[in-house]
Amino acid sequence: MPASTTPASPPSFGTLVLRWYRINRDGLRATAIGIVSLLAFLLVWHLLTTYRVVFFVRFTNVPSPLAVYASFTKAIHDPKFLLHIALSCRRIFIGFSLAAIVGVPLGLIMGRFKLVHEIIFPVAEVLRPIPAIAWVPMAIMLWPTNEQSIVYITFLGSFFPILVNTLHGMSLVDPVLVRAAQCLGARERSIFREVYFPASLPHIFTGLTVGMGVAWVSLIAAEMISGQYGIGYFTWEAYSLVQYADIALGMIAIGVLGLGSSMLIRGAGQLVMPWRLK
């Protein structure tokens, strides 16, 4: 391109736009297709519900996108709906944070000290396959309040993915890096902080992302079964009260919240691991 070989004359606005387009072509393409695909989804949903299609699956009672939008505009002015959302977010925040605060250090210590691993790992392996939902009756017995048992279920759901991925990260730490640190004078504590921890971070963040997903699954299930308040409870209540539009609204809210929280974790990961940016 002639403009790039003669830096003395600034390129015209047109060339800049053209260049920007050329560099970002792939991204633009993906965005455009994404928007079209979402619109198509809405359109299909609209047609299926407007014409009340029955073809194995019955769309007779399924609310249309417009009906859901109408209940959305109503709901955002309803303090009760906002309270549902706020409470769910709080439960996620507390349960997930506890899981991270316990799971990450525990995984790091288990990965570093064989004895701790040998003691804790068998118990973790037995408890791990139990789905968080199966803990609901036990959780209600264990904890004095409903709120605590729901947070506990959320905690359990995210705890095991975080622990397992942290352990996995620790097992993959390159021993040569540990040696390199040792012959630069690093002692146990520094090696832990400067080598094992940062080397495991990518897997820790995988664990946090997976854990966040499972936290939402567990939370919604717990809220539907035992809740008062919470977006899972809202969705279930809408079904009981035959508020069909609210069912879809609750589902979409859950989806958006789940997406938002995993984006937060991804963003945090990029902040903490700048060396992984391409």
Query: What DSSP string runs through 92-147?
Result: HHHHHHHHHHHHHHHHHHHHH-HHHHHHHHHHHHHHTTS-GGGGHHHHHHHSSSHH
The single residue among 174, 241, 256, 268 that binds another protein, judged by CB under 8 A, is: 174
Residue 271 touches another protein, criterion: CB under 8 A: no
Whose Cβ is closer to another protein: residue 11's or residue 194's? 194
**Does 195 help bind another protein (rule: CB under 8 A)?**
yes
Our finding on whether 171 is near another protein (CB under 8 A) is no
- Give min distance, CB of 178 to another protein, in A: 9
The answer to whether the CB of 210 falls within 8 A of the CB of 258 is: no
Between residues 11 and 202, which has the closer beta carbon with respect to another protein? 202
Tokens matching residue 33: 């297709």
Per CB under 8 A, the list member of 201, 204, 210, 253 interacting with another protein is: 201
Cβ atoms of residues 171 and 111 within 8 Å: yes
Query: Could you say whether residue 269 binds another protein (CB under 8 A)?
Result: no
- Number of C-beta neighbours around residue 151 at 10 A: 23
Q: Which of residues 96-115 bind another protein (CB under 8 A)?
A: none
190 binds another protein (CB under 8 A): yes
Candidate list 18, 67, 199, 251; residue touching another protein; CB under 8 A: 199
- 126, with CB counted inside 10 A (0-12, 13-18, 19+), is exposed
Select from 104-112, 169-177, 203-211, 224-232 the region that touches another protein (CB under 8 A).
169-177
CA dihedral 108→114→118→119, nearest 10 degrees, is -70
Of 179, 239, 241, 264, which lies in the binding site for another protein, with binding defined by CB under 8 A? 179
Q: What is the C-alpha separation between 237 and 229, in angstroms, rounded? A: 10
- Give me the 129-168 binding string for another protein, x by CB under 8 A, dash otherwise: ----------------------------------------
Q: How far is the CB of 202 from another protein (least distance, A)?
A: 10
Minimal distance in Å, beta carbon 182 to another protein?
Answer: 4
> Which of 69, 44, 71, 38 shows the shortest CA–CA distance to 57?
44
Say whether 62 sits in a helix, a strand or coil.
coil
Closest approach, Cβ 161 to another protein, in A, equals 23
**Binding of another protein by 46 (CB under 8 A):** no
Is position 183 an interface residue for another protein (rule: CB under 8 A)? yes
Q: Which of 67, 194, 225, 243 binds another protein (CB under 8 A)?
A: 194
Q: What share of the chain is helix, strand, coil (3-state, %, to 5)?
A: 80, 0, 15
Burial of 271 (0-12, 13-18, 19+ CB in 10 A): exposed
Contacting residues toward another protein, per CB under 8 A: 174, 176-177, 179-187, 190, 194-195, 198-199, 201, 273-275
